[in-house]
Amino acid sequence: MMDDLMLQMARYKQQGFYCSQILVLFGLENLGRENPDLVRTMHGLARGLGSGEVCGALTGGVALLSLYAGCGESGAQEDPRLGVMLQDFVAWFKETYGVPFGGIRCAEILGDDPRNQNRCGQMVLGVYEKVTALLIENGFDLYGLEE
């Protein structure tokens, strides 16, 4: 399973997608959907909001949780489990990546060393694993959404 994810992530990377986009693409793939507008929107979160700020793996993970549990239309409500999942996820991200890498900003995670780029792929896979675990723990079906 993880090998398949690594291969798919590499394909997406070769196609020019970034961390935040790849995470949402994984979710859309699970759901059997395509949404180029959403994927394009996620590009704005890439490379730390385009300026080395908040890591795209973090914002992509938040977006992936919201894909399943957020409010998607007028009059609808977010799933009440979303807030707790977001808090758990952000706390996990800070502990897992923020502490060892010196923060949650791309500039802190990557520093000035181009060799640190390999951290990004590891983080995307770790985030996807954590987000899917949170969704499953909270009773979400990764392969179907109620309309």
Inform me whether the pLDDT recorded for 1 exceeds 70.
Answer: no
* CA-angle at 41, arms to 39 and 44, nearest 5°: 115
pLDDT at res. 147: 47
Inform me whether the pLDDT recorded for 2 exceeds 90.
Answer: no
Average pLDDT over residues 15-43: 97
Task: List, for residues 64-108, the tens digit of each pLDDT value.
Answer: 999 999 988 888 888 999 999 999 999 999 999 999 999 999 999
Q: Where are the domains of the chain?
A: 2-137
pTM to 2 decimal places: 0.93
The Cα 120–Cα 104 span in angstroms is: 12
